[in-house]
A and B are shown apart, each in its own frame.
Chain A
Amino acid sequence: MRRLETRWGILMAMPAILGFLIFTIGPMVASAFFSFTDWTIGASPSFVGLDNYAAMAGDELFWKSLTTTTYYTLGSVPLVLIVSFAVAMLLNEKVRGLAVWRTIFYLPTLVPAIANVVLWIWIFNPDFGLLNSLLRQGGLPASQWIYAESTAVPSLIIMSTWGFGNTMVIFLAGLQGVPRHLYEAVSIDGGGPWRRFWHVTLPMMTPTIFYNLVVGVVGTFQVFNQAYVMTEGGPNHATLFYVYYLFRKAFTESEMGYASALAWTLFMIIMVVTFLMFRNARRWVYYEMAGAR
C-alpha cells in the first residue's frame, strides 16, 4: 500500500510539478539569464554582464515609470481599503437586504478589464463624459481627467476605486468573524460605538487589513491595461506604468534583454516592499496567539 501510495502520489502531482518547472522555474531562470544579455528577437543574445541594470540607473523613463507606479499604488491602495472597509462596516450592521447591497457593490469587479477601460474612457470624456456632465450641472469646473498630465494618475486612481467589491467582501467576512462577546464586554464597561470600533473592531481586523494591503500593493504594482488601452502611457509619460514600460521595451522596441532586467528589478522591488510590510506588521497587526492575555 505504502509503495502504491507513493507511486500514485507522485503521478497525480506530476502535472502540477511539470507545470511549475516549465511555466515558472524555467522562464524565471531564463529571464534572469536574458537580463544579463543584449538581445533582440531573431538575433542571438550576447552576454553583457550587468550593463542592463547599469543602464536602468541612467534611464529617465525607468525612473518615471517607477515613480508613476508608486504614485498610483500610494493613491489607489489606501483609498480602496478605506472605502471597502467603510462599506463593509455599514453592511455588517444587520442591514435588510444584505444580499442585494452586497451584489450592488460587488458588480463592478465583474466587468471585464477591457470593457471597464472602454467604459471609463467615455466617462472621462472631457466634452460629453459622465463626470464632466455632472460637474457642469453642479456649476463646478470641468477637468481634463486622463487627458492632462496632472490629473491622469488621479483619474485612474478614482477608476480603480470603483472595483472595491472584492476587498469589501473579504472585509465583510472578517467583520462577521469578530467575536460578539468582545463587543458586549465594551458595552458593559460603558463604551459607545466609537470605543467599540477603536478597541475591538479595528484591532481584530488588522490581519484582514494587512492581507488586503499586501494583495493590493502587489496588484497595483503590476497595473497594465489602463496604460495600454486608455492612455498609451501619456500624456507626456504621466501614466507610464512599470509593466507597460516593460511591455513596450520587450514587444515594441524588441529589447528583450533590457526588458528582462526590468522584470527582475520589479520582482526584487515587490519582494523588498512585501518584506518591509511583513516586518512592519509585527507592530500593528494583532494575532490572537501572540496577543492573548
Chain B
Amino acid sequence: MTAVAAPDRTGARGVAPTEGLRKPRRYGRILLYLALVAGALPTLLPFVWLVRSALMQDAQMFVSPPEWIPAPFQWSNFSEALTTQPFGRYFVNTLVIAVISVLGTVLTCAVAAFSFSRLRWRGRNVVFALLLSGVMLPYAVTLIPTFVMWQELGALDTIAPLTVPSWFAGAGGGVFNIFLLRQFFLTIPFELDEAAYIDGASPWRVFWTIVMPLSKPAIIVVTIFTFIGTWNDFLGPLLYLQSEENYTLSLGLASFQSMYLTQWGYLMAASAAVIAPIIALFFVLQRYFIEGVTLTGIKN
C-alpha cells in the first residue's frame, strides 16, 4: 500500500502540501539554529573565559560585574608563567614520551593486527578473544603491581614505565587499537597477499610493503588517539616521575597550580599553552579525528 502511495504524493498533487508546509518549516529552521546557538554558547564560554583571563591583569579580573575585554592585553602573563617553571622542558619531555609511545603502539599493534587478520595459525582466534577481554579491566586493578614492578626494576623517575608498555602493544587502549587496525586490514583484498607470496615474499614484506601503505587512514587514527592519550595522561606521570626536570606538561601544570593558587592570569596562560598544541593538531587533522571517534563508536 505504501509503495503505491509514495509516487502519488510526489506527483502532481504533491505541490499543494509543500506550499502549506513552507511557513512552519521556515520557523522550524530558525528554531533549529537558535537551539544550536543556545547549545554552542555555553560550550564556547569556558574557552572565552580562559583566553580572556590569560590576557588580563589581576586587578581587572577582580572587579564586579566582570569585564570581558582585557585592557591592557597582558601578554606578559604568558612569558612569565611559562618561565617561572621550565614549561619548555616539560613540553620536550611530553613530546619525547608521546613520540616513543606512538611509534611503539602503531608498530606493535599493526604487526599484531596483521597476524590476527591475515595469517592463519592455530589458536589465533582464541588468543585474540583473550586479548580483547582485557578491555573491561579497570586500570585500578593493575595499577599497584605494575608500580611495584617498575620500582623493583629501579625504573622510577625514568620514562620507561610510560613508554615501554607501548612497545608491547599496550599504550592508549592497546588492544582496542589492534581491534581497529584488524577491522581495517580485513577490508584489503587478500589476492594482493597471495600474489606476493607466489613471488616469494615473506609475511613481513607483505605487511610492510602492501598492507601498511594501504592502511594510512587507520594508522593515522591510531596515531592521533595514542598521541592525545599520552599527551593528556596525568596519572601515569604522577605515579612514575618524581624529579621536576622529568615532568610532563600535565604534571608541570598541576604543580604550577598548587604553587600559584590565586594567580589566575598565570594559571590561565599556562593552561592555554598546554591546550593550544592539541587544538592546533585537531584543526590540521580534523577529518581523521571525527572518523576515528565514529569508528570507535561503531565497533559494537
Across the A-B interface, the 3 shortest Cβ-Cβ residue pairs: A19-B168, A170-B297, A9-B121
Instruction: For the complex formed, measure the closest distance between the CB of B146 and the CB atoms of chain A, giving whole angstroms.
Output: 5
Interface range on chain B: under 10, 10 to 19, 20 to 34, or 35 or more? 35 or more
A270 to B56, CA, bound (A): 45
Docked complex: B191-218 residues within 8 A CB-CB of A: 197, 202-204, 207
A119–B50 contact, CB under 8 A? Answer: yes
**Cβ-closest chain B residue relative to A269:** B138
- 8 A Cβ contacts from B259-294 to A: 264, 267-268, 270-272, 274-275, 278-279, 282, 286, 289-290, 293-294
Query: Quick one: which of A243-293 are within 8 Å of B by CB?
Result: 243, 246, 250-251, 256, 259-260, 262-264, 266-267, 270-271, 274
Whether B136 pairs with A270 at a CB distance below 8 angstroms is yes
Interface residues of B in 144-178 (CB under 8 A from A): 144-149, 151, 165, 167-170, 174-175, 178
A-to-B contact residues, CB < 8 Å: 1-2, 4-6, 8-13, 15-20, 22-24, 26-28, 30-31, 34, 41, 86-87, 90-91, 93, 95, 99, 101-108, 110-115, 118-123, 125, 127-128, 130, 133, 136-137, 162, 166, 169-170, 173-174, 184-185, 188-189, 207-208, 211-212, 218, 221-222, 224-225, 228-229, 243, 246, 250-251, 256, 259-260, 262-264, 266-267, 270-271, 274
Asked if A122 and B278 make an inter-chain contact with CB atoms under 8 angstroms apart, the answer reads no
A246 touches B140 (CB 8 A): yes
B266 to chain A, nearest CB (A): 11
Q: Are A5 and B169 in contact (CB under 8 A)?
A: no
Q: Select B197's contact among A1, A23, A207, beta carbons within 8 Å.
A: A1
A169's contact among B44, B145, B271, B297, by CB below 8 Å, is which? B297
Question: In this complex, what residue of B is CB-closest to A128?
Answer: B62
Interface pair B141/A31, CB less than 8 Å apart: yes
Q: Contact: B141 with A22, CB < 8 Å? A: no
Asked if A24 meets B142 with Cβ closer than 8 Å, knowing A90-B35, A118-B257, A208-B297, the reply is yes
Compute how far the CA of A75 lies from the CA of B136 in the bound complex, rounded to whole angstroms: 22
Q: Is B32 an interface residue (CB 8 A)?
A: yes
In contact, A108 and B46 (Cβ under 8 angstroms)? yes
